[in-house]
Structure 1
Amino acid sequence: MPLATTRRTGLVDQVIEQMRTAIATAEWKVGERIPTEPELVSALGVGRNTVREAVRALAHAGLLEVRQGDGTFVRATSEFSGALRRLVGSELREVLQVRRTLEVEGARLAATNRTDDELRDLTTLLTDRERLMQARDYEVGVDKDAEFHLAVVRCSHNTLLAELYQGLTEVVRASVAATVRETPHKANIDHRGLLEAITHRDPDRAAAEAAGFLDELLAELDRSEDL
């Protein structure tokens, strides 16, 4: 990622902005390690202290995670997303509960408000997701699953709901990955019922389908904790 050489005024703020842009545009992807400090110093034409201050600020905002001895990694794509990740925490149960709250209403509204073009996009996403999960390509399949759920919420045409859910993209993906890791037989959980409900503009069924698989995951989590 070629970074523009900074001007000599407001160096820390300029470096923060360039690094934030690299994250937001997926030049640096979530989960990946960013360039080393010497590499950033060379690319930006600034001192080590400036780079360290910028990294410290972005880590405080939740976008970066500094792992001693291992490097600095992208944790979230925006301050909003980083804040939500801290709020929700890493507990799978809490993430699933928050997902349920947003996805049920998103599905209900999607069944009423979706367009034909959006329906075609949903169908393609779900087909790709199923193919990847069946092939046990879980890493890419998890990404496609998260894209599908985000697309459903966007079909609600409720801007605020979609923005809230967008901010949860990383934790949604993490929850899907955790589910696949802890209960691999759930990797290809069936979402065709949800797609059919949205296709037939049935908001009650769409809400029930969205709640159903998340309730099932929560119940399985309860059972595993009781063992």
Structure 2
Amino acid sequence: MTAALSRNLLADQAADQLRRRLAAGEWEVGAKLPGETTLAAELGIGRSTVREALRMLAGQGMLRARQGAGVFVERTEPETDGWEAVLQREAIAAVVEVRAAIEIEAARLAAQRATDADVAAMRRALDLRAAAAAASDRAFVEADAAVHRSIVAAAHNPVLSELFETFVPRVADAMVEMIGLLGLRDRDTEPNSDEHAALVDAIAAGDIELAARISRAHLEAMAADLA
């Protein structure tokens, strides 16, 4: 616990230093920040702590990570909790509402219809999600989506599967935005892992009501975070 608190404190301090450097104009909007190794050496901290600090600033709207390209400056002052942030939260909340409409029923049907092969596929997806814990936000979201895809597939409803696949790109973008907005991985690189495992266990056990209840609670908590 002490080590974790120390690391979090260092990340906060690093974020403050980077925030001051951004405000001073060291990097202009659109500029690419130095890599994690360089920043770690400059700040005298580890790369994982630098990564946490960068995520904090991304959550404030100051930075944005681009897959395979690096971290870029979005603004030199923290984003105020104004209309832009409100509209972003509302857009993500709308996606979560549609997820609930699809995924709660998918969990219920999967608990009724899942085969041994379906359950095996769900557990493989859980393992891949865990393996993506240290990956980028986008890669982690894609691994998370694969778990939900395996559950929808286990519902054995082709229309539901088609609807989910059409919706997945929108979900992925919203979840990446939500991670940055709320800093969901600042302290936990594998959020909600227990809930996902419990959902798969309920489906494997054929417990229809429990599966639906876990799915509903997960999505309601997500909606509450955005309120």
**Normalised-by-shorter TM-score class:** 0.5 to 0.7
Aligned length in residues: 132
3-state DSSP of counterpart to 1:201: coil
How much identity, in percent, do the aligned residues show?
A: 27
What is the aligned partner in structure 2 of residue 188 from structure 1?
191
Distance 1:182 1:189 in 2: 17
TM superposition shift of 1:176: 2.0
Distance 1:122 1:184 in 2: 27
TM superposition shift of 1:136: 4.5
Higher relative contact order (CA 8 A, sep 6+): 2
Deviations for 1:145-174, whole angstroms, at most 9, x for unmatched residues?
Answer: 111111111110011111111110101211
- In structure 2, runs of 5+ residues without a counterpart are 1-89
Structural RMSD (CA): 1.6
Matched, 1:147 2:146: yes
Spell out the pairing of 1:159-178 with structure 2 (5 A cutoff). Answer: 159-178=158-177
Matched, 1:131 2:131: yes
Distance 1:209 1:155 in 2: 16
TM superposition shift of 1:125: 0.7
- In structure 1, runs of 5+ residues without a counterpart are 1-89, 223-227
Given that 2:112 and 2:208 are in contact with CA atoms closer than 8 Å, whether structure 1 keeps it comes out as yes
Matched, 1:179 2:184: no
Distance 2:165 2:114 in 1: 18
Deviations for 1:8-30, whole angstroms, at most 9, x for unmatched residues?
Answer: xxxxxxxxxxxxxxxxxxxxxxx
Given that 2:111 and 2:205 are in contact with CA atoms closer than 8 Å, whether structure 1 keeps it comes out as yes
Deviations for 1:90-146, whole angstroms, at most 9, x for unmatched residues?
Answer: 81011000000100000000011111111111101111112212x253221111111
Deviations for 1:23-69, whole angstroms, at most 9, x for unmatched residues?
Answer: xxxxxxxxxxxxxxxxxxxxxxxxxxxxxxxxxxxxxxxxxxxxxxx
Spell out the pairing of 1:1-227 with structure 2 (5 A cutoff). Answer: 91-133=91-133, 135-185=134-184, 187-190=190-193, 191-222=196-227
TM-score, normalised to structure 2's length? 0.55
TM-score, normalised to structure 1's length? 0.55
TM superposition shift of 1:175: 2.3
Distance 2:121 2:222 in 1: 26
Distance 1:99 1:126 in 2: 19
Given that 2:102 and 2:160 are in contact with CA atoms closer than 8 Å, whether structure 1 keeps it comes out as yes
3-state DSSP of counterpart to 1:140: helix
TM superposition shift of 1:178: 2.0
Given that 2:114 and 2:154 are in contact with CA atoms closer than 8 Å, whether structure 1 keeps it comes out as yes
TM superposition shift of 1:183: 2.6
Amino acid at match of 1:112: Q
